[in-house]
Amino acid sequence: MKLIALILGLILERLATELLHLRELRWFDRYFDFSISRLLLLPSWLLYPGVIAALLIPVVPVLWASLYLAAAYTPLEWPQIMTAVLWTLPYVLFAVLILFFSLGPRDLGSEVDEYCAAVEAGDAEQSERVLTELCEVEHSGAGDIEAVEEAIFVQATNRIFGVVFWFVTLGPVGAWLFRSSDLFRRRVSFRFSRDPSGLEAAVAAIDNVHGALVWVPARLAILGYALSGSFDDALNCWRSYELKSDLPFHRSNDEVVACVGKAAMTGFLEESPNSAAAARNAMRLVHRTIFIWLTLIGLMTIFGWAV
């Protein structure tokens, strides 16, 4: 069931572009603003439990619906197979809906296409705006090849691979938990960029909690990049990076994904690429990795490891 829901969710994300603005979940900012204001009142030793509680509260309705729909289904004998299908269908549709809102908040492929079109049209203002959204910080270099490559690999982890991993692990609850943590991280970073006073501890706590959720899917994404691209270059980059890196826990995820993703692209680009070509090749590597993940999840499903 998870594999079917996952495939349908990825297809829906790509096709329903006119509905993508719904996934930005701006109305959720009020809840996160309220949570941040409460966190600022907590003593330091309660900060991490407070962040975890703030993330779990939005997950409760999804957990309740998942348990209710899953409890309605029990394996049946062949004469009752149609009844089983009818009971399973609501859960699959629910899982697809949760996946649709968890993947994102924008379709990465569409955003990369938008950036490439702006670069090729010579629209520096538009390309800088899209690159700023991808990097999540103000960026003035519209044609910065390294910046766009790194941003695509980092966003692929936050928007796709993290959601897919936790969906396979915990079902719709896992996908929504990961998306909630990413939305919380984005919101507190936005608040910090506007007014950093008093938010340092909250930013660190939220980044670390999100980093813990990202750690495994980031490493699995790295393996996918290595298998999809230049395996030796990717593996050597990963090994050397882990040996010398002294970045904080949450920052190391982004840095190693960007480093290995770029290394795996060795040989993909022409001799004199522009940023649009670099972005397309990075996205191509992401798509190959998604295909590898789906293939492995399919094999796991066949052997009963991811049902």
Closest to 278 (Cα-Cα) out of 137, 92, 150, 109: 150
Residues in the chain: 307
In angstroms, the CA 217 to CA 158 distance is 9
Cβ-contact 303, 142 below 8 angstroms? no
Please give the pLDDT value at position 78: 43
- Rg (C-alpha) for the chain, rounded Å, is 20
Largest CA distance in the chain: 65
pLDDT digits (tens, 9 = 90+) for 81-126: 444 444 577 888 898 889 988 987 788 888 899 999 998 888 888 8
Q: Which residues of the chain have pLDDT under 70?
A: 1, 16-25, 71-87, 140-142, 243-251, 268-273, 305-307
Pair of tokens at residue 100 = 């649709």
Cβ-contact 157, 214 below 8 angstroms? yes
Listed in sequence order, the residues at least 6 apart from 80 whose beta carbon sits closer than 8 Å to its beta carbon are none
Place of tokens 């992401």: 286
Please give the pLDDT value at position 19: 56
In angstroms, the CA 301 to CA 168 distance is 10
Sequence ranges of the domains in the chain: 2-302
Please give the pLDDT value at position 110: 86
Please give the pLDDT value at position 197: 79
Compute the mean pLDDT over every residue in the chain, rounded to the nearest whole number. Answer: 84
pLDDT digits (tens, 9 = 90+) for 114-133: 999 998 888 888 888 888 88
Closest to 97 (Cα-Cα) out of 34, 5, 171, 18: 5
Pair of tokens at residue 291 = 């295909």
